[in-house]
Amino acid sequence: MGSFTLLDVKLEKRIKGSLPIEGASWQVGVIVGRSGSGKSSIAKELFPESYIRAFEYNRQSILDDFHAGLQTGEITKALSSVGFDSPPDWLKSYDCLSQGEKMRVDIARALCLDRQLIVFDEFTSVVDREIAKVSAFAIAKSVRRSGKHFIAVTCHHDVVDWLEPDWVLCTDTMEFTRKKEVGRPLSSKFIGAALPCGKCFGSITI
């Protein structure tokens, strides 16, 4: 910092805009961009009650870490639906699972929550990229079957096609793209655009 005379300078990046998704028919959305581009800040600001970063795990079997009100069949169905269908591994503790298995368990737990909207940060961030793509495809199918809304927040563009989202916000360019019910995709600039029926925010500091 001394080399660039930044010793007593506070650097901020401020963004504002709107996300036109309310009132629209959608189930899977993606907020994607490089680290520091504001994707997590936007997700937390717009969806504080639905934002999921991590679950607590302290039981000997992951099955026991799910909500106590769920039946075993409901839990195993949720795990299988996201591509984790190995009964022997269900009996392991969370710490004994691979990174890919941990992510799928987290998603399964999220889908079992009594919430219509789930916003999942660091989606596929720490898993092998081929596993990430296959997992993204299985998770998107599970979300659509559940009837819930799911927003993946990720720094990896390679999973976007596999999720087949209904809309994408790229924080690298601040461009919002969505699928029309008929015809070609609709794109619009995120910052400074007057976008109707959207989640709006004033100013977010990153």
pLDDT bin (cut points 50, 70, 90) of residue 69 is very high
- Spatial separation of the C-alpha atoms in residues 96 and 15, rounded to whole Å: 40
- Spatial separation of the C-alpha atoms in residues 64 and 13, rounded to whole Å: 42
CATH number of the structural domain 12-205: 3.40.50.300
Quick: pLDDT tens for 95-145: 999 988 999 999 999 999 999 999 999 998 888 899 899 989 999 999 999
Q: Please indicate whether residue 85 or residue 186 has the higher confidence score (pLDDT).
A: 85
Q: Please indicate whether residue 110 or residue 13 has the higher confidence score (pLDDT).
A: 110
Q: Taking a C-beta distance cutoff of 8 angstroms, is the pair 83, 138 a contact? A: yes
Name the residue with tokens 């992951």.
Answer: 62
Of the listed ranges 8-22, 69-83, 146-160, 163-177, the least confidently predicted one is 8-22
Domain ranges of the chain: 12-205
pLDDT at 36: 86
List of E strands, the chain: 14-19, 28-32, 51-52, 117-120, 149-154, 167-170, 175-178, 186-189, 199-205
pLDDT bin (cut points 50, 70, 90) of residue 5 is low
Report which of 17, 21, 11, 23 is spatially closest to residue 39, judged by C-alpha positions. Answer: 17
